[in-house]
Amino acid sequence: MVASVSNSKRLAGKAAQNASGKGAMFGPKVKTAELVDMTSQMAIMTRAGVDIASALESLVRQCSSPVLKTILEDVHENVLGGKSVSESMSQYSHVFDETYVASIAAGEASGRLPDVLSQLAELLRSDMKLRNSVRTMLAYPILLSSVSGIVLLALILFVLPKFAEIFSDFDAPLPAITQVLITVSSELRTRLWLWGPLVFSCFAGGYAFKRSEKGRLTWDHFSLNAPAISKVTRALLIGRVCRLLGIMIDSGVPLLDSLRLARSSVKNSLYKELFTELEDDVMNGRGLATALLESEFVPASAGEMMVTAEKTGSLGMVTRMIGQHYEEEGEAKLREFVAFLEPVITVVMGLLVAIIVMSVMLPLFDLSSVAKG
């Protein structure tokens, strides 16, 4: 591989400028686990002294994913033709995002490619682990809510009408709650053609609104300020951004480019605006740590550590460690929230089922008393 330092720096800056997410090429996605495995193997081989062209050739032979194998073959051919790895990978932005390419380019320029690959592999592995943890933790509450909802709907639509027929044979007044539930059941059964599409339209409308600009702003504001989830959202956002910034700073990506790439990786629109302001502050000569501290993006204690680290030249390492701390804290807070949510769902659904059962049992008790009398 022959890659000039100036070319690598140019590509790092170009990746940052293209951080709007528009890829130069679109195609089948590669699984995160496959990308982690590939990056880890590249890191090991380059650290062992294997040149990058030979490492890519070895990866092509070992790769079991047809999509990734085709991409690696093309990257390998481009490297043999004189292009840098980062420039070759930039053609596949649907697989290697701007952050990945910019970090590789900076690693090539600084001669620290093995270290950069190791850090990228760790970042990807951490992201994958966090996503899997979130899915696992939320799976049970979602399943519990879904099953409970189906049971409640079945009771209202199929069980309650059977008892309503029995009650109608007697001329005894029904409790108010029983009358209300029988009316609701009858309405749903006779006008399912109306209520079914109406409920579906409400969900579809809510989904469309959430994807709109106003909907995203509303959700972003809610997720950062809602009492139940704000601490989780903030901790995970701080963790992700700080880890990313730390890796890029350590890799040698220019500071402004690092901020632009960090902004492109943030999904929350309010934090995107914050990073735009940070870019302006840094362009005006202020230090990154000071700008972050005064923006209140990070807590005061973490901000003070970053200010000290910036003075001692260890900003990348400290920022990465802060990011790891807040990611772990966010995951712990999410686990606490889910642990609180599960019994709440169980109690609420239990109360709803109890209400339906009571609406059936109360008239039966009254009818039993009348029969004995």
Q: What is the DSSP code (8-state) at residue 25?
A: S
Phi-psi region of 313 (alpha: psi -120 to 50; beta: other; left: phi over 0): left
The answer to whether 121 and 39 are in contact (CB under 8 A) is: yes
Confidence at 27, pLDDT banded by 50, 70, 90: low
Mean pLDDT, all residues of the chain: 84
pLDDT in tens, 202-253: 989 988 988 888 888 888 888 888 887 888 888 888 888 888 888 888 888 8
Tokens representing 2? Answer: 């022959």
Residue 160, pLDDT score: 85
Residue 249, pLDDT score: 86
| Mean pLDDT, residues 301-322 | 85
Residue 353, pLDDT score: 86
Confidence at 5, pLDDT banded by 50, 70, 90: very low
- What is the residue type of 210? K
pLDDT higher than threshold 70 for residue 11: no
Residue 373, pLDDT score: 52
Alpha helices in the chain (DSSP H): 5-17, 32-47, 52-62, 66-80, 85-89, 98-110, 113-154, 160-168, 176-190, 192-211, 213-225, 230-251, 255-265, 269-283, 288-295, 300-312, 315-372
Residue 2, pLDDT score: 37
Q: How many alpha carbons fall within 13 Å on the CB side of residue 42?
A: 29
pTM value > 0.85: no
pLDDT higher than threshold 60 for residue 302: yes
Give the DSSP H/E element, type plus range, for residue 27. Answer: none
| Mean pLDDT, residues 151-157 | 86
Residue 370, pLDDT score: 58
Tokens representing 144? Answer: 């519990």
pLDDT higher than threshold 60 for residue 199: yes
| Mean pLDDT, residues 53-61 | 94
pLDDT higher than threshold 70 for residue 85: yes
CA-angle at 244, arms to 27 and 219, nearest 5°: 75
pLDDT higher than threshold 80 for residue 22: no
Ordered by where they begin, the domains of the chain are: 5-111 (1.20.81.30), 122-373 (1.20.81.30)
pLDDT in tens, 104-151: 988 888 888 999 999 899 889 988 988 898 888 889 889 988 888 888
pLDDT higher than threshold 50 for residue 19: no
d(CA 171, CA 85): 85
Confidence at 372, pLDDT banded by 50, 70, 90: low
Residue 369, pLDDT score: 65
